[in-house]
Structure 1
């Protein structure tokens, strides 16, 4: 037989997303999805049962402006640091200064709690999961254990080290210290170990004899960090100056008490900070008072010295009038300067209001210049007295302002008024904020459903198995027939005994009709073939080629053809079990080796016109036997005697035997198992055959299940399949 030139494998068409197919895959994988959803729901319930409820307390704080009558001047306020903004106050609330005070006040660096069972401690403590009171388990908390710590002092090396307390009943307890020492004590009485610097007093203890508790002195920095992690501070609304402070924890009473302590500590530091600001400003002003007083005395001395020297007693009526008018105009100009700062923030320089202010300032400046000109026209003596008097008034005004500010700051310091007040006191919500059972369970079920769906779709994408005849057509492999799956035809290949032939046991089944369709396709397809022999092979074991070969031989014989079925799998052939032929009966191996002739080896089949040639004794060198000229002689002899010869060949990807057989027979047909054989395997089969000069004539889609097919029927799972690529001969069946 002439070898045809290898043809390239047709590339599969680009995959397109088929929504109907995806929905079908999801529907037929509903058991996987349901199982994943149920498992996730069970895990969610287990997590909820083993998670202690978390409560939240909150309080509202208002940041107020300082009272204007006692406020510092703008310049002095800037020197003192200015007003604190909300962001600054948030950081102060979360600082070690404030939280450290709360930790110290409420002993948050002490830890005393019942010992809980590993993994399921909360479920046992809440009563959801019962735990028997037996030796070894009695030490774990069942929700009936309580402890209150009134005093704890440990040496530095015992910080963060656990101290194990065991209830002994009647108010007695035993301690196991970190150094291995054991001590006993009584509730309400101090227990001290002076040589180690250890002290302890238990205020209250509830628990049956044998219950154990863990006591630990926490590191202060770690305790503050843990408290900060439970604390939330945020401004309610934009620039509202209202801070909402929240604290979460497992004990609602402890959460409310601790949050109240944090608010009070913050309030105290705020008042202390306000008093410190006032004190700082007061120190600055009191430092300026002696200089201002000295300036007043110097101005008085200059004025008095000039009067004595010039014998000038006063300014006179005209000079006094000018001094009064100049002072009044300078006061108005200072007021206009303050107004201009405010107006400049609201209007442009071209606004009428701004222009009126500038015009008024201009008139006052012109009037002031005129008055100063009149002063220059005064006699020299009066002019000098005027200037000295003016300097004295300015010095006195500065001194009086400093005195007034100093008095105001003394009042602020004495009153210790801060700019923060508590609007709503700390209060814990009656319902826990976590875990939210309904939401958590719904989320767990949703994640389970999504995981199951992802698993179903992922398996479909990863497996990429043949799901319909059109996929084989795209690979350039025409489909001769589609054979439906028949559960009744599944036999035990690894066991012993006779295997059923479906064409005889259930000839009217739809599966056998698929075999008859294959018979018809081969009858018309091989009219012009050079040989009436075919080889059925597959990419891997368990594709159903032996089942197809046997039933095809039977239905062809039933149609009146003379048929010979040859078991060409010289490694693991098992067709003898369909025909009750004993193992080791001479067959193909003996013929190829020249040890027997064909007439001695053929066995009659179960129907008229069917002959069977078994493998014979499995040889150690099957490939070498098949490459002998006797194989071509066998094919030629079978063509003379039979209308159809069917060679059941081994899998292509396991051994090279089917390539040798394919070059000798008239056509090679690949048996592809639906939903099992991968597209990559089919491509490899085609390439391997074509590489050896054998062109596959077509394929049979075997064990087809419509509910798993492509198109609108979707695709599901439920068939588990594995095969061994090693393909080793068996020592026995």
Structure 2
């Protein structure tokens, strides 16, 4: 053992200097904080990773769904589908061109889409279906009323249905078990008929063929022959009912039209008598010529009156303007040449007057003369203006008088026209009534004769196109389609469930999450041990770098060590704390293998077990006894030389944790611990501290600001995201530096091919390696 370690007291004096020197290191987390946020891109490989990770969930869901579909398919009773076709033409071919009075609708409705829809509804009518049931005697038909219909099943489903039926009978006894509660025969027949009607409706499908006049009628039943018989009998029964309805319509229409013809004849005779009586009473032969003359005169008077009113309104407006505002602003005044000349002369005289009045008084002869001339001009101007205003007033009065005369004449002409028009109107009303009654009578008489001729000549507008034949193969269940649907649904359900579970799982799935989400660089990806070595002991895995220098794990440790040395800007970190968010993440394994990797450069390394709660490093180095160690030194019960121990590896020294103290956090927070780390950093090239897990313990926050950097050991699909975020914030808040993370136990198979494509190249480029020197 090397005893060159400085005393604790001297180390304490230099602790501040070592901490100050550490300030020059620029940890990667600080660098990431200054970078812009990385936008997450949709990567198809991420979805593929989810599918591979949850492949058993998808496979089990697929198998369960497929099994259920298969059981349902193979336990269902086979159903046969028989189909027939009807043609429903909206046109009625008739030698008399009779347009559908019997149907109670006109040709425009018959040619519309509603006609086909109406026939579909009539085919589904309960009355028609009841006639079919009674005609075929389906109530007593064993094949139709048996258990093997479309409402029952065989196999597993049939057994389940029978079990439910038995349970129902146990809970609710049959009503006819008690003679007092027996229903009469009529009620029982109605119940049976309703049941059979429900079966018919459930199995019957009426579908119009789009763009044609065809209607497909199909029926499902476990018996092919019975399905075809039901379809054929339904079509025949529908045609028979349709023919009966037509005959009934012809008869009722004939009776109705006979009554209407008689009533119309009486009404026509009455209206003709009234017209003749009115013509004799008023002496009217023809009023058209005289009425046209009077109406023409009235129109001319009204037109002249309208022009007079327009002229009067215009002149009245001008007259009212002169009364309100005078005549100064009227166009007749402003545009009058004489008035404008007088105004000009007046302006010139006034200018001369203003010039002389500044020098002479009003009694001066020349001034006096000017004033007289100005007064004369004003008088002439007023006279001319008054003449214009008088002419405007006279024009208004003449227009008003003309309007009154025309109004009186129009009223007189209007009264004469109204009187003649009233007499002519009454005459026209009576004559129009006669004409209308005659047309109605002729139309009804003609239609009555058409019905008589059409009653025996209508050949129908609904016909059977094709009869139903017994199908050779079942229609349901469609085995291939159902099984394929089961596979598709199972696949979608499995993938959906996988992504739901993935969403609910809040652990790290991808190493890229560390730099993107938390700004923590990934220092290395440590592969999971090969399948043949998954049973290795803990100490053997922790010494893999020594036992198997060419192993993939060893190569990953070398790569991680290079990343750690380059993680700070100035010099490589000398004191490194290794921890994890949760226990069993492999932090002790990482600490031991990283310590062994540093020996390749002949560095002097001190490995310290600071996990004072559940230590494990002493087992790696073959020490079963952990009775003396770091806790003894911090408590003052042992000297530093007693706790630092040599190992079998040159230049690698080890301090075990020692006995577990009652308060680990208080010991690690002591000044003795800080001084010891500072002194040891001068004595050794590297200090590796194996710390307890961060979750729930304060030791990491205490030790993080005593070292150059902290390395977080994580595992995919195990380390929680919120734990990493809490760790980053907590360590940063106390001034600690996060160098990065070592992602441990990364899968190397197909599921991990994204991170490790295989390790054959390691064997090809491997080199002999011995600790402390190159081979």
Task: Please indicate the TM-score interval, normalised by the length of the shorter structure.
Answer: 0.5 to 0.7
Displacement of 1:502 in angstroms is 1.5
Q: Alpha-carbon deviation of 1:544?
A: 2.0
Distance, in Å, in 2 between the alignment partners of 1:216 and 1:498 is 87
Which residue does 1:231 correspond to in 2? 204
What secondary structure sits across from 1:446 in the alignment?
A: helix
Q: Quick check: 1:534 aligned with 2:530?
A: no
Q: Cα 1:430–1:296, aligned 2, differ >3 Å: closer, same or farther?
A: same
Shift of 1:552: 1.8
Q: Is residue 266 of structure 1 aligned with residue 298 of structure 2?
A: no
Q: Which residue of 2 aligns with 1:335?
A: none
Deviation at 1:548, TM superposition (A): 0.5
Question: Residues of 2 paired with 1:401 and 1:633: CA distance?
Answer: 127
Number of the residue aligned with 2:182:
196
Using the alignment, how far apart are the partners of 2:496 and 2:139 within structure 1? 47
Cα distance in 2 for partners of 1:699, 1:395 equals: 103
The correspondence for 2:88, drawn from 44, 63, 69, is: 63
Are 1:483 and 2:526 matched, yes or no? yes
**More strand, by proportion:** 1
Matches within 5 A, 1:405-420: 405=450, 407-408=452-453, 411=456, 418-420=460-462
Residue 94 of structure 1: aligned partner: 124
Q: Which position in structure 2 is the counterpart of 1:598? A: 640
Q: For 1:227 and 1:76, how far apart are their aligned partners in 2? A: 31
Question: Aligned runs of 1:603-618 on 2, under 5 Å?
Answer: 603-618=645-660
Q: Relative to 1, partners in 2 of residues 1:395 and 1:705: Cα closer, same or farther, differing over 3 Å?
A: closer
Distance 1:252 1:610, change over 3 A: same
Larger Rg: 2
Contact 1:503 1:512 in 2 (8 A): yes
Alignment deviations for residues 42-81 of structure 1 (CA, whole Å, 9 cap, x no partner): 4443332122223212111122443423664677875799
Contact 1:501 1:550 in 2 (8 A): yes
Within a 5 Å distance, the mapping from 1:355-434 to structure 2 comes to 401=446, 404-405=449-450, 407-408=452-453, 411=456, 418-434=460-476
Structure 1 residue 547, shift from structure 2 partner: 0.8
Aligned length: 558
Give the match's secondary structure for 2:468.
Answer: strand
1:695 and 2:668 matched: no
Alpha carbons 2:88, 2:213 under 8 Å: kept? yes
1:547 aligns with 2:592: no
Matched, 1:122 2:147: no
Distance 1:656 1:451 in 2: 45
Pair 1:668-2:710 in alignment: yes
1:501 paired to 2:543: yes
Q: CA deviation at 1:13?
A: 1.7
Q: What CA deviation, in whole Å up to 9, does each residue of 1:204-240 have, x standing for no partner? A: xxxxxxxxxxx999676676455334332232242x3
CA distance in 2, matches of 1:395, 1:579: 123
Cα deviation digits, residues 227-266 of structure 1 (max 9, x gap): 334332232242x322112222333334323333432342
| Mapping 1:27-106, distance limit 5 Å | 37-64=62-89, 65-69=91-95, 72=98, 83=110, 85-103=115-133
Structure 1 residue 662, shift from structure 2 partner:
0.8
- After superposition, what is the alpha-carbon deviation per residue over 1:371-401, rounded to whole angstroms, capped at 9, x for unaligned? xxxxxxxxxxxxxxxxxxx99x999977974
Aligned-residue CA RMSD (Å) = 5.1
Name 2:375's counterpart in structure 1. Answer: none
- Alpha carbons of structure 1 residues 695 and 241: separation in structure 2 relative to 1, 3 Å: same
SS of match in other structure, 2:738 = coil
Structure 1 residue 14 corresponds to structure 2 residue 39: yes
Which of 140, 151, 174 is the equivalent residue of 1:178? 174
Return the alpha-carbon distance in structure 2 between the equivalents of residues 91 and 440 of structure 1: 32
Q: Which residue of 1 aligns with 2:357?
A: none
Q: Is the 8 A contact 2:138 2:145 kept in 1?
A: no
- Matched residue of 1:535: which SS? strand
Asked whether the 8 Å contact 1:57–1:427 carries over to 2, the reply is yes
Q: C-alpha separation between the residues in 2 aligned to 1:525 and 1:396?
A: 112
Specify the SS of the correspondent of 2:467: strand
Alpha-carbon distance between aligned partners in 1 of 2:242 and 2:220, rounded to the nearest angstrom? 24
In the other structure, the counterpart of 2:371 is none
Bigger relative contact order (CA 8 A; separation at least 6): 2
CA distance in 2 between partners of 1:296 and 1:531 (Å)? 123
- 1:591-670, aligned counterparts within 5 Å? 591-670=633-712
SS of equivalent to 1:85: helix
Contact 2:575 2:708 in 1 (8 A): yes
Q: How far 1:648 moved relative to its partner?
A: 1.0
- Distance of aligned partners of 1:680 and 1:102 in 2 relative to their CA distance in 1, 3 Å threshold: farther
- Residue 277 (structure 1) aligns with: 249
Please give the TM-score of this superposition, normalised by the length of structure 1: 0.62
Q: Structure 1 residues 424 and 569, CA, compared in 2 at 3 Å: closer, same or farther?
A: same
* Partners of 2:232 and 2:467 within 8 A in 1: yes
2:627 touches 2:658 (CA, 8 Å); kept in 1?
Answer: yes
The structure in which a higher percent of residues are helix is 2
Distance 1:293 1:443 in 2: 74
Q: Does 1:255 align with 2:227?
A: yes
Aligned to 1:430, the other structure's residue is in SS state coil
Distance in 1 (CA, whole Å) between partners of 2:597 and 2:717 is 26
1:401-480 mapped onto 2 (5 Å cutoff): 401=446, 404-405=449-450, 407-408=452-453, 411=456, 418-453=460-495, 465=508, 467-468=510-511, 472=515, 475-480=518-523
The structural deviation recorded for 1:445 is: 2.5
Alignment check: 8 A CA contact 2:86 2:464 kept: yes
The 1:471–1:699 alpha-carbon spacing in structure 2 relative to 1, beyond 3 Å, is closer
Instruction: Check 1:560–1:625 CA distance in 2 against 1; reply closer, same or farther (3 A cut).
Output: same
Equivalent position of 1:723 in the other structure = none
Query: Counterpart of 1:15 in 2: which secondary structure?
Result: coil
Separation in 2, partners of 1:528, 1:700? 22
Tell me whether 668-677 or 516-525 shows the greater mean CA deviation.
Answer: 516-525
Distance 1:395 1:531 in 2: 115
User: Deviation at 1:541?
Assistant: 2.9
Q: SS in structure 2 opposite 1:243?
A: strand
- CA distance 1:77–1:31, change in 2 (3 Å): closer
Q: Distance in 2 between matches of 1:505 and 1:394?
A: 121
Q: 1:186-335, aligned counterparts within 5 Å?
A: 196-197=182-183, 224=197, 227-238=200-211, 240-291=212-263
Write out per-residue CA displacement over residues 458-499 of structure 1, whole angstroms, 9 at most, x where no aligned residue.
Answer: 666766735346953885434444433324775689xx9987
- Distance between the aligned counterparts of 1:513 and 1:505, measured in 2? 13
Q: Tell me how far apart the structure 2 counterparts of residues 541 and 274 of structure 1 sit (CA, whole Å).
A: 91
Structure 1 residues 404 and 528: alpha-carbon distance in aligned structure 2, compared to 1, 3 A threshold: closer
Aligned in 2, Cα 1:296/1:569: closer, same or farther, shift over 3 Å?
closer
Quickly say closer, same or farther: Cα 1:556–1:245, change in 2 above 3 A.
same
Alpha-carbon distance between aligned partners in 2 of 1:430 and 1:17, rounded to the nearest angstrom: 53
In 2 relative to 1, CA 523–394 (structure 1 residues): closer, same or farther, beyond 3 Å?
closer
Shift, 1:421, TM fit = 2.3
Change (3 A) 1:441 1:713: farther
> 1:460 and 1:164 mapped to 2: Cα distance?
48
CA contact (8 A) 1:11 1:474 kept: no
SS in 2 for 1:516: helix
1:179 shift after superposition? 4.5
Normalised by the length of structure 2, the TM-score is 0.59
1:451 Cα shift? 4.4
**Structure 1 contact 25–714 (Cα < 8 Å) conserved:** no
Conserved? CA contact 1:21–1:713, under 8 Å: no
